[in-house]
Amino acid sequence: MKKVLYIFILITILAIPFQFIHSDPVHDGDHFPEKTGLSDSLVLVINKHRGDIQWEKSSDCKNWTEINAGHSDTLHIETDTLAFYRAKVTEGTCLPLYSDTILVSNSSNKKITPQSGDTLRIFNYKNDLISLIIPPYALQDTTTVTILPHFSAPVNPIAKDIFPGVTILPDSLRLLKPAILRVDMSTGITDTSMSALFFIYDTSLVYPLGNLEITDSSIQGEIYHFSGYLGAEPDGDEIIGQSDNSVLSGSSNPFDWQGTYTLVEGLLKYAEFLMFLGKTEAAQKVIEKANKVMENDAKKFLKEKIPDNPCGWYLNVLFKFAEKVNLMIGGELNMQFSDRIGDLMDLCEFRGEIEFRHHITFSEGGTE
């Protein structure tokens, strides 16, 4: 009997984006090189074989179920699926041979203009509804945004995950306004007091999202850049370990207020978890660390040279740092930001230009 040589992929290019991944013959799903395309369906065809074909499907590349497709050498798949596929070929009493494995992974993909904003929605293999809500003027430029749901949670330091997560592309794209990542859970959330969505900083460090809203069936939080995110339920030891190991600056870039917000709001959420667990002293230490991060990053920003035209992006960054300093630090540092804002407002001769660029409403009480 000849060995099954490959799966040949025929793709009809239509409108719905998806992702597919080839590999050498595998059984454990350890790694798959990635390719992407656009289609609403695809056709898998076995070539150069002899014997009876049985198509199989798996959600983890370990446990396989048979697909009722007869013994055809062709399998049609709708790309709203999210699963691994392979063909098993048997002849007589010979042991079965397997084709290469292919991962078909749906994605949500839209080109979004800054002026309009938009919402992307997609289901993962657990039938969780994932929504990314991008408000107007959150994007600097017209951008193609993609959501890729995960089969399983990526390597991370929290043992209990409640949502396997997503990757949002383009990776590391910073937003001018926070977007909302929302997950409507198909199986519900058992512990709404200790669950959160997390930004994956690296394999050993995650931060809960700020402004979390959670019910027994949904969870959402604010994100400031595109990256990898997951849902998890940390215990007390994990929270203390994560807050102890957290970095002391949101970013090496002094203008990256998004990185600062992500870190500070994550630390404050960890402190909230610890308060709920009755670990008041540990929570206070985390709050002090968050304040220190905010102070360090704000001072680092103020040391940078003011650009020749400060009425554009620089003013937006200034307002963002000033907002958090006012809420968390106060005192002399808050006065320094107030003075800087006052000086730059004087330099910006036409207030209408500022309102146009930043969509800021001015009143006697300040900015809104």
Per-residue model confidence as pLDDT tens digits over 242-297: 999 988 887 889 999 999 999 999 999 999 999 999 999 999 999 999 999 999 99
Give buried/exposed letters for 215-246 (b at 16+ CB in 10 A, else e).
eeebbbbbbbbbbbbbbbbbeeebbbbbbeeb
Q: Is residue 159 classed exposed, middle or buried when 0-12, 13-18 and 19+ CB atoms within 10 A define those classes?
A: exposed
The residue out of 260, 276, 294 marking a domain boundary is 294
Query: Could you tell me the CATH number of the domain that includes residue 256?
Result: 2.60.220.30
Do 125 and 271 share a structural domain?
yes
Look at phi and psi of residue 77 and say left if phi exceeds 0, alpha if psi is from -120 to 50, else beta: beta
Q: How far apart are CA 235 and CA 245, in angstroms?
A: 16
User: Would you say residue 263 lies in a domain?
Assistant: yes
The residue out of 106, 134, 150 marking a domain boundary is 106
User: Would you say residue 1 lies in a domain?
Assistant: no
Do 138 and 269 share a structural domain?
yes
Using the predicted structure, report yes or no on whether residue 356 has a pLDDT greater than 50.
no
Using the predicted structure, report yes or no on whether residue 7 has a pLDDT greater than 70.
no
User: Coil, helix or strand for 34?
Assistant: coil
200, 165 contact by CB (below 8 A): yes
Q: Which of 189, 186, 131 is nearest to 160 (CA)?
A: 189
The residue out of 106, 127, 161 marking a domain boundary is 106
Parent domain of 12: 6-106
Do 242 and 280 share a structural domain?
yes
Do 263 and 206 share a structural domain?
yes
**Cis amide bond preceding 157, omega within 30:** no
pLDDT digits (tens, 9 = 90+) for 215-256: 999 999 999 999 999 999 999 999 999 999 988 887 889 999
Q: Which residue has the tokens 């995960």?
A: 150
Do 288 and 194 share a structural domain?
yes
Query: What's the number of domains the chain is made of?
Result: 3
Evaluate the CA torsion angle 312, 314, 320, 324 in order and state its sign. negative
Do 327 and 226 share a structural domain?
no
pLDDT digits (tens, 9 = 90+) for 41-90: 566 766 666 778 888 888 767 789 898 877 777 787 765 556 778 888 88
Using the predicted structure, report yes or no on whether residue 368 has a pLDDT greater than 90.
no
pLDDT digits (tens, 9 = 90+) for 156-175: 999 999 999 999 999 999 99
Q: Which of 34, 41, 57 is nearest to 9 (CA)?
A: 41
User: Would you say residue 284 lies in a domain?
Assistant: yes
Helix 313-328, helix 280-303: angle, nearest 10: 150
Q: Which of 147, 122, 134, 107 is nearest to 20 (CA)?
A: 107
User: Would you say residue 217 lies in a domain?
Assistant: yes
The model carries a pTM of: 0.72
Contacts of 327 (CB under 8 A, 6+ apart): none
Contacts of 346 (CB under 8 A, 6+ apart): none
Do 331 and 250 share a structural domain?
no
User: Coil, helix or strand for 237?
Assistant: helix
Q: What is the pLDDT of residue 11?
A: 35
Q: What is the pLDDT of residue 57?
A: 86
User: Would you say residue 299 lies in a domain?
Assistant: no
**How many of the other CB atoms lie within 10 Å of CB of 141?**
8
Do 278 and 317 share a structural domain?
no
